[in-house]
Structure 1
């Protein structure tokens, strides 16, 4: 793996030099955009809108529009905005794991100790594991400040980038129903949930969509026409709710026996 950020974790006066690696990978198939007429690839060019000429990467800078003019920002400007946050994952407090809402999570990153950071790395890892707590930290990467949670995954420190409060939209804008449900219906739904409750295992779940799409690609490359498929999900009517819950319970019971 190739590190994407080098710096240190800071908690109290303890500083742990670390390297950061992406903890996930995109399994989406790499598809090119083509011109339907001759299957030629579509290319994007970075073009100066005044001259119409292509601009090389080395000549591209970032700028903030102020009035009718741009303030151009160089790499050192981003670092100087907060040098400490650009180099340090600063743990500011610790919280219980169960306090964190899943909607906050965005992306995991693995942290690896650099030279001379082994003992302090293990110290933080073991302490977090024993207390079942997460470190709340902030740092800057790619010209953006991130809120993050530092925890454990398979004996490694893992940093979860999470969303700031102002990045979460207000669900109050949703049109949610106020339809009443009976206690009997809720009790039966709980029974169904209990029957489906198991110990979570990542290995149970596979990305099958990519495999199925690959089969279609192979079939088309062999000159075969892909089979048309159809799927329609019908909403359960309120009057059928109890019947469907009972049928679901019976189906689960028959599978278990």
Structure 2
């Protein structure tokens, strides 16, 4: 793996030099855009809107529109905007990891200590495991300030970027009915159904079947075969009574 960031984790007065590595990878197929007439690749060009000519990559700069003109923003400006945050993941406080709303999660990065047998790294890892806490921190990645949690996953400290609270839309825009009455009998049956399906989390049982099937379809088409399309057969309930539906669900699970 290739590191995407080098800096340090600030833990009180302790500084732990680390490298960041992407902890996730895409499972989607790499599809190219083609001209349907001759299957030629479609290329995208950076074109000057005035001259209509392609602009060399080294001549492209970033600008912010201010009044009727642009202010050019250079790499040094990004560095100057928050110099103290550029190379430090500064843990500001510790929170219960269970209190982090899953809606906030974005993407995760493995951290690796710059030096072997780093005692400070090992200490933070073990302390996070024992406490059940996660560090809440901010750092700059690709010229953008990010909020993140620093938490343990097996043998590594993981940095997971999370969204800022203002990025989550308010539910007031949804047409939600909070006056629906649920009977105790229905609730008890719902809880029983949840308990019936409850088991320890084991993600190894779940694979990205869609892209596997799509690849099979592509390979069949490449060989001139007609791919078989599986049709989804939705389950239709024969009874509109919620309690009866829950009861039947429990019985079908037991039968399985």
TM-score, reference length from structure 1: 0.94
Q: 1:1-257 to 2 correspondence within 5 Å?
A: 1-115=1-115, 118-177=118-177, 178-231=179-232, 233=234, 239-255=240-256
Measure the CA separation in 1 of the matches of 2:244 and 2:35: 52
- Cα deviation for residue 149 of structure 1 reads 0.2
- Unaligned 5+ segments in structure 2 are none
Structure 1 residue matching 2:35: 3-state secondary structure:
coil
User: Deviations along 1:45-92, whole A, 9 cap, x unmatched?
Assistant: 111111111112211111110011111011111111111111100000
- Cα deviation for residue 116 of structure 1 reads 6.8
Q: CA RMSD in A?
A: 1.7
- Cα deviation for residue 2 of structure 1 reads 0.4
- Cα deviation for residue 95 of structure 1 reads 0.6
User: Deviations along 1:164-207, whole A, 9 cap, x unmatched?
Assistant: 01111112211113432222111111100001110111211111
- Cα 1:235–1:103 shift into 2, 3 Å: farther
Deviation larger for 124-133 or 111-120: 111-120
- Unaligned 5+ segments in structure 1 are none
Structure 1 residue matching 2:129: 3-state secondary structure:
helix
Measure the CA separation in 1 of the matches of 2:7 and 2:207: 34
Are 1:91 and 1:136, in contact at CA under 8 Å, matched by a contact in 2?
Answer: yes
Structure 2 residue matching 1:90: 3-state secondary structure:
strand
Q: Which stretches of structure 1, 4 residues or more, deviate above 3 A after TM superposition?
A: 232-238
Are 1:16 and 1:117, in contact at CA under 8 Å, matched by a contact in 2?
Answer: no
Measure the CA separation in 2 of the matches of 1:106 and 1:163: 7
Measure the CA separation in 2 of the matches of 1:253 and 1:235: 19
